[in-house]
Amino acid sequence: MAGIELQNVRKDFGTLSVIKGVDLEIHPGEFVVFVGPSGCGKSTLLRMVAGLETVTSGTIRIGDRIVNDVSPKERGVAMVFQNYALYPHMTVADNIGFSLKLSRVPKAEIKKRVEETARVLRIVELLPKKPGQLSGGQKQRVAMGRAMIRNPKVFLFDEPLSNLDAQLRIQMRSEIALLHRRVGATVIYVTHDQVEAMTLADRIVVLHAGHIEQVGAPLDVYRNPQTQFVASFIGTPPMNFVPAQRFPAASLPTKWNGSLKTVGFRAEKTAIGKSDGLVPIGNGRVRLVEPLGLRALVHVELGDQELVTEIDTLDAPSPDSEVPLGVAPADLFYFDQSGRSLGAPL
Amino acid sequence: MRRIDWLPWLLLSPTVLLLAIFVVYPALYSIYLSTQNVDPFTHRTIFVGWENYLELAESAEYWKSLKVSLLFTLYTVIPSIVVSLAVALALNAKPYINGFFRTLFLMPVAVSSAMAAMLWIFLYNPTAGFLNYVLSTAGVVGPNWLADPTWSLVAVAIATVWKELGFNVIFFLAGLASVPPELNEAARIDGANAWQRFWRVTLPMLSPTVFFVGVVSVIHSFESFGQIHILTRGGPAGATNVLVYSLYRDAFENFRSGFASAQAVILFAIILAATFVQFRIGQKRVHYA
């Protein structure tokens, strides 16, 4: 178990700046998820921690040691790749035991540890097979076994579940959580799937265009997004945003004077109907109703915007009908010109 | 009754016709000829059965040719695979120089073997040649490469490897491009150094390419003719008289078509056997992803 510290870490590819100064401290044993849209630099940052990419400037520490110029093998990290990166010419047992073989562990010991690891992951019967004979979920377990067997101080996961089908993804997600609880190592987990981020993380790091937008516990980030980007990225469906001038002036707080530009509200907090407690947003036309089961997503066209509400399926209006939308004042988020949160109105 | 669809036959016919005229018929005809004695002037043939083959079996010269051919294969195939793989690895590591150097290495392949051989005649010239000049700057008196029986086969082999190099480099580059980069990254994280990554990951992944290049190179080496014809004409003292060259001399200098045909049949059998053995070995060692 080891902590990780990033100080003003930058990465340039030629003239292109991919990581633009990241500061982050990860505590020993913590499960941290890097989340962000593709191209935000989350994988690059992970690969820099792994030692697969050089650091342009800044320092990366693992434990007490600055590892900028330390080879991946010396860093004591293990990594699970998105496409598993299993060695196709080796059996599952050889794949899992490869790192031990390289460090000249005696054969009998390798065999014992490979079998132990396989038992934990319930893949003992796969040991003599080659990766080409395995299903996606099985490959995923082998890749995890290969990482686990070295008892690394740090686990790095690079979008490990994105090649699996939806059901398997949910199952493997909970297994990764159990695995973390069991081995207790520090984990950095990269994903673009915010559900994975929310469910797995002790803390999530929302990345956007090479810098950190917000770091915090999942629910804290969900409840108090510090920027409009975080608000739109965390939470499904994305938060609705409406220009402040659309609202009746009396219904908005006045303390920020002119700096209030955008008002946001989550779909699940957007009500259809009018009542005294609700700030009215306006009347819109229902374009689409997507029933999810108990709840339904209702897409409403309001002026040139499309807003989404999530309500009980039984209450869903019929398409093309006109409906009034409203939100409770406590459920509004306020953002300035640059997309920064203005905080609570009181 | 089903109607026969003639279109596929029509489209295939030019290829079938060309193969039949220039490959199948000559091949079958040479098998026939190998059992005949052919009069060089009247082209009359007399059936002699196994006699041509028996004469070959008793010919010390022919056994020497076989030995020369095997040595030539040894001298060309292994260096050619090792060097072209090394070149491909170097080019693969530095993609921005790849295009230029790839062209450079491929150029000898595009040059006709006669032109290439002329070039090497100049290089190998014992007194005015560049090779011995370079050796002399290191204080070494170079041999008379093409006229010295101990060096001539090596000299021809070097020229051959040089000429074929680019061809193999292209195949190895294509093979390397199909090795997923994450495999090497995973191996780095697993603690493999560059050498271990090459032996345990890259080379096994390249094994189909190595196998293919190996088979093709062996066949090429047994069929090498142009450079030998120009550089040494099989000499000195038969030191470079490979099977094909011996065959050529018997057919077109000694005008013994039947005897030469028997050699062609044997050469065919040798290449077939060599390829068969390579496939048997390959089955165990080659990993197809």
- Specify the CATH number for the domain of residue A75: 3.40.50.300
- Kindly state the tokens that stand for A100: 């031990």
**Amino acid A345: pLDDT:** 64
Co-location of A119 and A12 in the same domain: yes
CB-CB under 8 Å, B191 with A89: no
How confident is residue B53, by pLDDT bands cut at 50, 70 and 90?
confident
DSSP A330: G
Q: Is residue A341 part of a domain?
A: no
**The domain that contains A252 carries what CATH number?**
2.40.50.140
- The reply to whether A315 falls in a domain is yes
Which residues of chain A neighbour B201 with C-beta distances below 8 Å?
Answer: 87
Which alpha helices (H) appear in chain A, and where do they start and end?
42-50, 92-102, 107-121, 136-148, 166-183, 194-200, 218-223, 228-233
Side by side, which strands form the sheet with A154-158? A77-80, A154-158, A186-191, A31-35, A203-208, A211-216
Residue A205 exposed, middle or buried by CB count within 10 Å (0-12, 13-18, 19+)? buried
Cα angle, residue B282 at apex, residues B280 and B288 outer, rounded to 5°:
130
pLDDT in 10s for each residue of chain A, 346 residues? 788 999 999 999 888 899 998 899 999 999 999 999 888 889 999 999 999 999 999 999 998 899 999 988 888 899 999 889 999 999 999 999 999 999 899 999 999 999 999 998 889 999 999 998 898 889 989 999 999 898 888 999 999 888 888 888 888 888 888 888 888 889 999 998 888 899 899 999 999 999 999 999 999 999 999 999 999 998 888 899 998 888 877 778 878 777 888 999 999 999 888 888 888 888 899 999 999 999 999 999 988 889 999 999 988 888 889 999 989 888 899 999 888 888 876 5
Q: What is the amino acid identity at position A135? A: S
> Which phi and psi angles does A12 have, rounded to 5°?
-115, 140
A201 and A329 share a domain?
A: no
Q: Where are the beta strands (DSSP E) in chain A?
A: 4-13, 16-26, 31-35, 57-62, 65-66, 77-80, 154-158, 186-191, 203-208, 211-216, 240-243, 262-265, 270-272, 279-291, 295-302, 305-312, 322-327, 333-335
C-alpha to C-alpha distances, A220 to A84, A174, A345, nearest whole angstrom: 32, 21, 18
Provide the shortest C-alpha distance from residue A285 to chain B (in Å): 50
Show the tokens assigned to A318. Answer: 């019929």
Amino acid at B31: I
How far is the C-alpha of A97 from the C-alpha of A324, rounded, in Å? 63
Same domain, yes or no, for A227 and A279?
no
Note whether residue A14 is domain-resident: yes
Contact B230, B114 (CB under 8 A): yes
B39 touches chain A (CB under 8 A): no
Query: Can you give the residue ranges of every domain in chain B?
Result: 60-285
Q: Are residues A211 and A315 in the same domain?
A: no
A298 and A228 in a common domain: no
Spatial contact of A205 and A215, defined as CB atoms under 8 Å apart? yes
Both tokens assigned to A256: 């920020």
A344 within domain boundaries: no
What residues of B are in contact with residue A62 (Cβ under 8 Å)?
none
Residues A97 and A190 in one domain: yes
Give residue B226's identity as a one-letter amino acid code.
Answer: G
CA distance A214 to chain B (A): 29
Cα distance between residue A9 and residue B133, in whole Å: 55
- Which residue in A has a C-alpha nearest to residue B184's C-alpha? A85
B185 reaches A (C-beta below 8 A): yes
Give residue B1's pLDDT band: very low, low, confident or very high (50, 70, 90): low
Note whether B82 and B164 are within 8 A (CB): no
CA distance B233 to A173: 72
pLDDT, tens digit, 9 for 90 and up, residues B20-42: 999 999 989 888 888 888 877 88
Domain annotation covers residue A217: yes
pLDDT for residue A155: 92
Same domain, A209 and A248: no
Quote the minimal CA–CA distance from B277 to chain A in Å.
22
Domain membership of residue A340 (yes or no) is: no
Asked whether the beta carbons of A307 and A242 are under 8 A apart, the reply is yes
Residue of A nearest to B191 (CA): A73
Which chain A residues touch B if contact means CB-CB below 8 Å?
Answer: 50-52, 71-73, 77-79, 81, 83, 85-89, 98-99, 102-103, 132, 146, 150
B167-200 pLDDT per residue, tens: 899 899 999 988 898 999 999 999 888 899 999 9
**B257 C-beta neighbours (distance < 10 Å), count:** 23
> Is B7 at the interface with chain A, CB within 8 A?
no
Are A316 and A294 contacting, i.e. CB atoms less than 8 angstroms apart?
no
Question: B151: pLDDT confidence band, cut at 50, 70 and 90?
Answer: confident
Residue A285 contacts residue A322 (beta carbons within 8 Å): yes
Q: Assess whether A153 and A177 both reside in one domain.
A: yes
Q: Is A298 helix (H, G, I), strand (E, B) or coil?
A: strand
Pick from A88, A89, A102: CB nearest B191: A102
B191 touches chain A (CB under 8 A): yes
Residue A218 and residue A293 in one domain = no
The answer on A46 and A143 residing in a single domain is: yes
Judgement on whether residues A279 and A173 belong to the same structural domain of the protein: no
pLDDT value at B239 more than 90: no
Which domain covers residue A141, as residue numbers? 4-232
Q: What is the pLDDT of residue B237?
A: 80
Exposed, middle or buried, B274 (CB in 10 Å: 0-12/13-18/19+)?
A: middle
Looking only at the bridges linking them, the beta strands covering B36-38 and A270-272 are unpaired
Q: How many pairs of residues across A and B have Cβ atoms under 8 Å apart? A: 60
Write down the pLDDT at residue B115.
86
Neighbours of B75 (CB within 10 A): 18
CA distance B208 to chain A (A): 12
Could you say which of A52, A88, A132 has the minimum Cβ distance to residue B188?
A52
Mention the CATH class of domain B60-285.
mainly alpha
Assess whether A265 and A251 both reside in one domain: yes
Q: Which of A73-87, B72-86, B150-164, B234-248 has the lowest mean pLDDT?
A: B234-248
Q: Domain count for chain A, please give it.
A: 2
CB A335 within 8 A of CB A322: no
Question: What was the pLDDT predicted at B42?
Answer: 80
DSSP 8-state assignment for residue B224: -
A326-335 as b/e: b if 16+ CB within 10 A = bbeeeebbbb
**Measured between CB atoms, which of A52, A85, A88 is closest to B289?**
A88
